[in-house]
Amino acid sequence: MDKNAEKVWGNCFKIIKDIVEWQHFKTWFEPIQPVSLKQNVLVIQVPSQFFFEYLEEHYVNLLAKTLKRELGKEARLEYRIMVDSGNSRTKPTTVDVSGQGFKSLSNNEMDFPLVINNPVKNPFVIPGLKKMQIDPQLNPTYTFDAFIEGDCNRVARRAGKTVAEKPGASSFNPLVIYGGTGLGKTHLAQAIGNEVKRLHPNKVVLYVSAEKFINQFMDHSRNNAINDFIHFYQLIDVLILDDVQFFAKAERSQDAFFAIFNHLHQSQKQLVLTSDKSPKDLEGVQDRLLSRFRWGLSADLQVPDYETRIEILEKKMRNDGLEMPKEVVKYIAYNINNNVRELEGALISLLAQSSLNRKEIDLDLAKKVLRNFVKSSSKEITIDTIQKMVCEYFDVPYDKLLQKTRKREIVQARQITMYLAKAFTKNSLKTIGEHFGGRDHTTVIHSCQTVKDLMDTDGIFRENVLELQQKVQLAAM
């Protein structure tokens, strides 16, 4: 390396570092290497044609002024571009910087075409890349209509709708969706992509798993085509990256994604990320990436509650044109409570067995078929068990629950107990009423409706009921 070139560029480097924002500086100036200095011409090496074009488009005036400060007004800058195209050797391309800061391009002794005229290499193998030819890699069945909203996912789903309506224009950029296995992260992320394509058909959308992203990066690295890889991803308007936890320890892939993230975010393009953990709990991911993940909104998906599980099953049945006794639906929803994937798997298994054995679906068949899904230690909850749990939760004497009293705390505790008994036991309304001092079925119906109405209007009341539901579910395990 030319010591004089190193010294001149080092002085320019310090000036630019004080002017340019840190993340831009790290992306666009740190990779530059000084090559030689002859009279007033400084030659610098840049990683790619795209890199050169970006510098000339965004930083030509800054480079011109800085270099003239060091070498005088006759200073010129030439670029040596590293070309990632097959076995072609790297050849110098020169760019003159005029006194007004404008560029004039000369192509000295070049026996190969400028890279700017070549198509960008597409990791998804679509020859002759044009923006609209990029396959979004989306599953068309993953839509918002097919994604049931509940307390477990309301924030994430509504944030996703906002992002789909105004990609890159809301404060939810990036949108990070996180949660355990089988809770719908991929479904929701792809629903955003499908909705963007519906509302904004000219937007370029791409869904890719972090694992595939890393494999593509490794392939391009072996072929000395990393900059083509980065350039491709920087063409995307809405980038959906699934399972970012797989970035752990993949340092070079993280470096590439850091450059892609910066470019897209600065260009007001939308990023949607999914993870099995919240950004603060991800291990093996660079701090600078984690800090960017927190720029937007992180929304979690939780295990769906009992009512949402019933709604998911009923939606699935309607879509497939299926019918099933209500008691069977309740049995599945009550016993399969880990995630949505298991819930749908249990339903498919039951339907398959019914069809193959030519048997009507009833509770006995459901219990037989779902023995592989339902924990063997699960036990049936009784009305008495629920009564005791509610009394303990609200600190209400058990005998008061059965008496005729108008005290608000007693009445609400009794109504909640009836509501839970209807949801978590197989007893008839008449039987439930008899467990509360001989009340009739109309009282139970009224109590259940009152609880539903209060849950819609009273946040604290709703939290109490949801917590009790969880307690009942745990007691059944």
- The domain limits of the chain are 3-114, 154-301, 306-372, 383-475
Written as six digits, the tokens of 381 are 């909850």
pLDDT tens digit string along 447-477?
A: 999 999 898 888 889 888 888 887 787 666 5
Phi, psi torsion values for 52, nearest 5 degrees: -60, -45
> CA separation (Å) from 98 to 65, 73, 80, 456?
10, 9, 18, 69
Q: Is the pLDDT of residue 308 over 70?
A: yes
Residue 398, H or E segment: helix 398-402
Q: Are 297 and 175 in contact (CB under 8 A)?
A: yes
What CATH homologous superfamily does 383-475 map to?
Answer: DnaA protein, C-terminal DNA-binding domain (1.10.1750.10)
Query: What pLDDT sits at residue 244?
Result: 92
Q: Tell me, rounded to whole angstroms, the distance of Cα 168 from its chain centroid.
A: 15
Q: Are 223 and 85 in contact (CB under 8 A)?
A: no
Q: Is the pLDDT of residue 115 over 80?
A: no
Residue type (1 letter), 356: L
- In the chain, the percentage of residues whose pLDDT exceeds 90 is 19
N residues, the chain: 477
Give the mean pLDDT of the chain. Answer: 80
**CATH T-level topology, domain 306-372:** Helicase, Ruva Protein; domain 3 (1.10.8)
Gap between the Cα atoms of 80 and 49, Å rounded: 9
Query: What pLDDT sits at residue 373?
Result: 66
| Domain 3-114 = CATH 3.30.300.180 | yes
Q: Rounded to the nearest 10 degrees, how much is the dihedral formed by the CA atoms of 308, 313, 316, 320?
A: -160
Gap between the Cα atoms of 440 and 281, Å rounded: 52
Query: What pLDDT sits at residue 146?
Result: 86
Gap between the Cα atoms of 102 and 298, Å rounded: 44
Q: At what angle do helices 326-335 and 340-357 cross, to 10 degrees?
A: 140
Statement: the pTM of the whole predicted model exceeds 0.85: no
Residue 410, SS3 per DSSP: helix
CATH architecture designation of domain 154-301: 3-Layer(aba) Sandwich (3.40)
Q: Is the pLDDT of residue 409 over 50?
A: yes
Question: Beta strand 92-97 with 103-106: parallel, antiparallel or unpaired?
Answer: antiparallel
Phi, psi torsion values for 136, nearest 5 degrees: -70, -10
